[in-house]
Chain A
Amino acid sequence: MTGYLRTLALLACLALPCLAHALTPEAALAMARGEGSSRIAAMQAAIADDPDERTAAFLRALAANEVAVADGRALIVRNGQAQDPVSGETLPLPASAEGVMNNNRMRGAINAALAALDLFAADAGKRLQAAHAMRQGASAERLPLVDKALAQETDARVKQALEQIRASVHLNAELPAERLAAIATLAGDASPATRLLLGERMAAETDDQVRSELQRALRKIDDRLAWGERLGVVFTGASLGSILLLVALGLAITYGLMGVINMAHGELMMIGAYATYLVQGVFRQYFPGAFDAYLLAAVPAAFLASALVGAILERSVIRFLYGRPLETLLATWGISLILMQLVRTVFGAQNVAVENPSWMSGGWQALPNLTLPYNRIVIIGFAFAVLALVAWIISRTRMGLFVRGVTQNRPIASCMGVNTARVDTMAFALGSGIAGLAGCALSQVGNVGPDLGQSYIVDSFMVVVLGGVGQLAGTVYAALGLGVLNKFLEGWTGAVLAKIAVLVFIIAFIQKRPQGLFAMKGRSAEA
């Protein structure tokens, strides 16, 4: 009986190496103790041949600083309990246990090793991520591992990524033919990292054929990267343009249609942004489950808050200043000072945090070097939705008809029974509400603070001036045009010079067309 048991134990001991052999006490100790480079070598050896779950667990413990060395063996220490990394049995913690320290280099190596283990994960996405992570600092020692992963890989994208790792190692191979093959593989991947890799090789390359091949690959990648950059500029320009559009749409109503120059427009935006902040707070407090939907509630809240403030302003101040534009300018500047200070008193002078809902964070990887953030895409869509809404209100609804009528000829509209005072209030509230919507959108991409409105007010007036008074179409073209122009010039001359160049452009433009892009014709054009 005892003989049988002994045989069994012996068998078990023999079998153990086959099942969970990859991690031996010696290997664990080598990974935990000694010089940095020898530890890294041990780590790479451990993951090179058939890593198992115990190796992974040990590496994770290493990464979490939970490994200690005592009596010449490595132990995982958790909650004051020691565990043998090889057998998994729990041991009393020896008094002489010394925690393993990891410097940054070690940490990098441990993470790389863990990433390498992920190459064999069940989830294809995880494997792809691991492959991408391995691209950095890919070296010849990794090749066996990559080859093994490649052999059992089924997903085409992961396969491609793995091939690229191989190629980036082979790029420095001895044989020119191998290098050529590597270049051919890498040329298909137009990412800045590949560009860098090939550029480095270019500097070291001596073989003429390989050089010309490298040059071709580089040119091809550069072409594709240039497209990404160009599209990126257009996109950021469109994004800035859409924000300008939102800001200027409100102005197009209050200034363009009603002739009220509202310097507090920026502060009405700020009110919209703070309304968004409040709605966010309410959702976090009372409906944490529906937090992602807070923006849907914030949009009408921002509109109503700003529209209400706008209506109050119109009734109390602006009404008495119709026909005196310069005085209106000063009075609304005063209003903006008061509103800013009010917000400072209530919410403090610091910026407040408005979070993107989860569905708006992240971005869409359009090209290897071009990621379009979701929040910007949403705002571009939102701006055009608001534009459509405003165009519909002005051209199709009864209220829009009244607004146009009062704009064109106040006395006649009044004779026809239009309550012009009420129309003024409604129109001003509408313009203010749209400013609130702009503030709500801005809260998703920028800081929300008392000075929020100040930074956009000059730009947005430029849009209205450029677009021509009383014209929605002009406002749209001017906003998008200025946005894209600004971003293009920014890439070329820097942000400040771009702003100045745009200003000079507008002044020059007004020389040619004093009435803006789309001048009104007929009697109403005589301003």
Chain B
Amino acid sequence: MQATTSSTPAVPAVQLPGRRPLLTRKGWGAFCAALLAVCALAPVLNLWVPPDSAFHLSDYAVALLGKIMCYAICALAMDLIWGYTGILSLGHGLFFALGGYVMGMYLMRQIGTEGNYGSDLPDFMVFLDWKELPWHWMLSDSFAATLILIVAVPGLLAFVFGWFAFRSRIKGVYFAIITQALTYAAMLLFFRNETGFGGNNGFTDFKRILGQPLATQEMRMLLFVLTGCTLLGFFLLARWLVRSKFGRVLQAIRDAESRVMFSGYSPLPYKLTIWVISAMMCGVAGALYVPQVGIINPGEMSPAASIEIAVWAAVGGRGTLIGPIAGAFLVNGAKSWLTVVAPEFWLYFLGALFIAVTLFLPQGIAGLARKLRRSGGDARPLAGAQAEGRSPAAKEETRA
């Protein structure tokens, strides 16, 4: 963590770890396998293998996996801010929903005059007897602008909010509660009809993207591949971030913020940067989510949705990058299975999961796997091994 390499020759130089490759050879192998699975295997199994074959990947599975990969991006974003920087956000659902809404606005405009009322305006506006588009719909016509806004809107909100919050050194539980209030307030705002986001129902009934129909199998597959590549790309980006000097400062902030400050660093730009990056990742996830699921409504901004993102990261294991992705797959897989098999049992399961993970698995599945591997003889420490909630900083901030 001693990042200052200039001056002070009197102090014996600390042996900095040599620059290691981004991923190990085995890691690259696994990464390429995942890329191949997403980009080649899944399309072939879904599009060209006949439906009655045992190897056919059903449309349902494609939709489900695509959705979960969006969630996994959120979990990854959450991990960057919580697992590596020690800041728990309970408002990441807001950024996810904002990205989704930006995309939804574009998709609503793509419906054109094919809505129920045959008007240029989206149906809900006709229903509300509006005559023209409100100002914030101005750029929704252009796909290029939409692509920019998908990251710009969550990014800007995160920047403004984060700047105020981090500047006054709001952290820990305070920060969590205020982000929760933020997403709650936004949810109330989006529920209103007059804010121009479709109220309760949000946006749905999408027909086209870039002039191409959305409901075809090929388009679904394309979105699936796109989501998969985005997830893998973000994984590499996150990996690069946390292993850079920047990432090491973040982890130092997580473990002992005051010591980082005493060492001459201002935590504000570090926290703000990772916070905005994390929010933008969520925005992208939301934008990929909406065309696949076909609906976006204010429910995505509810505090419960945001806290679920945190639990994916916690289940998978904070402070490891692969953990939260696995956690998102595991929890959402369990959810889609349980809500079909025993709908009233799902919330018991989720609640118990929250408790069990915090009590018995503070490092999540990744931690468990590591422990098992280590007891199996492999004692090599992994990056981020010290990531744990029981850090000195966490201890300091409670009992005031």
Contacts and interface: CB of A to CB of B under 8 A. Distances in A.
Interface string A494-522: 00100110010011101100100000100
B173 interface: yes
A326 B88 CA distance: 7
Interface stretch (A36-44, A232-240, A314-322, A473-481): A314-322
A341 B348 contact: yes
B346 to A, nearest CB: 8
B222 interface: no
Contacts of A330: 307, 310-311, 314, 354, 357-358
B173 A326 contact: yes
Contact of A334 (B177, B182, B353, B398): B353
B168 A341 contact: no
21 contacts: A261-B177, A317-B355, A323-B395, A326-B172, A327-B358, A329-B88, A331-B354, A334-B350, A334-B351, A334-B358, A335-B355, A336-B351, A338-B347, A340-B347, A341-B344, A341-B347, A458-B184, A465-B177, A465-B178, A470-B400, A503-B182
Given A496-B191, A510-B170, A511-B167, 13 more contacts: A259-B399, A261-B173, A325-B173, A326-B172, A331-B354, A331-B358, A337-B351, A341-B348, A341-B351, A345-B344, A410-B399, A507-B164, A514-B168
Contact of A511 (B164, B189, B307): B164
B174 to A, nearest CB: 6
A524 B88 CA distance: 24
B352 to A, nearest CB: 7
Contact of A325 (B181, B311, B350, B398): B398
Contact of B181 (A341, A458, A524): A458
B253 to A, nearest CB: 15
B380 interface: no
Top 4 closest pairs, chain A to chain B, by CB: A334-B354, A337-B351, A338-B351, A341-B347
Contacts of B348: 337-338, 341
Contacts of A58: none
Given A324-B390, A324-B394, A335-B351, A462 B400 contact: no
B165 interface: yes
Contact of B188 (A321, A462, A499): A499
A325 B397 contact: yes
B45 interface: no
Contacts of B400: 259, 469-470, 520, 524-527
B189 A496 contact: yes
A458 B178 CA distance: 9
B359 interface: yes
B389 interface: yes
A461 B173 CA distance: 10
Interface of A: 259, 261, 317, 320-331, 333-338, 340-341, 344-345, 407, 410, 458, 461-462, 465, 469-470, 496, 499-500, 503, 506-508, 510-511, 514, 520, 524-527
A130 B177 CA distance: 55
A418 to B, nearest CB: 15
Contacts of A527: 397, 400
Contacts of A327: 358, 362, 389
Contacts of A322: 398-399
B181 A496 contact: no
A510 B398 CA distance: 18
Contacts of A261: 173, 176-177
Contacts of A508: 164
A314 to B, nearest CB: 13
Interface residues of B, number: 50
B303 interface: yes
Interface of B: 82, 88, 161, 164-165, 167-170, 172-174, 176-178, 180-182, 184-185, 188-189, 191-192, 303, 307, 310-311, 314, 344, 347-348, 350-355, 357-359, 362, 389-390, 394-395, 397-400
A326 B389 contact: yes
Q: Point out which of A329, A469, A525 has the most chain B C-beta atoms below 10 A from its C-beta.
A: A329
Among A325, A331, A334, chain B packs the most CB atoms within 10 A around the CB of A334
A404 B347 CA distance: 37
A80 to B, nearest CB: 54
B394 A325 contact: yes
B33 to A, nearest CB: 33
A503 B91 CA distance: 14
Contacts of B169: 514
Given A341-B344, A341-B348, A499-B188, A320 B398 contact: no
Contacts of B165: 507
A327 B366 CA distance: 17
Nearest to B307: A333
Nearest to A464: B177
Contact of A496 (B172, B188, B344): B188
Given A333-B307, A514-B169, A461 B177 contact: yes
Contacts of A334: 350-355, 358
A510 B178 CA distance: 10
Contacts, number: 135
A34 to B, nearest CB: 46
A465 B174 contact: yes
A217 to B, nearest CB: 38
B180 A510 contact: no
A507 to B, nearest CB: 6
B389 A324 contact: yes
B314 to A, nearest CB: 6
Nearest to B310: A330
Nearest to B82: A326
A344 B346 CA distance: 13
Contacts of B185: 499-500, 503
Given A526-B400, A527-B397, A458 B180 contact: yes
Nearest to A261: B173
Contacts of B311: 330
Given A337-B350, A458-B184, A321 B344 contact: no
Contacts of A525: 400
B335 to A, nearest CB: 13
Contact of B399 (A323, A345, A506): A323
Given A259-B398, A330-B314, A338-B348, A503 B181 contact: yes
Contacts of A345: 344
B188 A320 contact: no
A325 B314 CA distance: 14
Given A322-B398, A334-B354, A317 B359 contact: yes
B361 to A, nearest CB: 11
B303 A458 contact: yes
Contacts of A461: 177, 180-181
B5 to A, nearest CB: 32
A470 B395 CA distance: 18
A469 B172 CA distance: 14
B249 to A, nearest CB: 21
Contacts of B353: 334
Nearest to B182: A503
B257 to A, nearest CB: 12
Nearest to A461: B177
Contacts of A340: 347
A336 B164 CA distance: 31
B396 to A, nearest CB: 8
Contacts of B354: 330-331, 333-335, 337
A45 B329 CA distance: 82
A319 to B, nearest CB: 10
B355 A326 contact: no
Nearest to A514: B168
A403 B400 CA distance: 13
A526 B184 CA distance: 29
Contacts of B344: 341, 344-345
A209 B368 CA distance: 91
B388 to A, nearest CB: 10
Contacts of B170: 510, 514
A326 to B, nearest CB: 5
Contacts of A341: 344, 347-348, 351
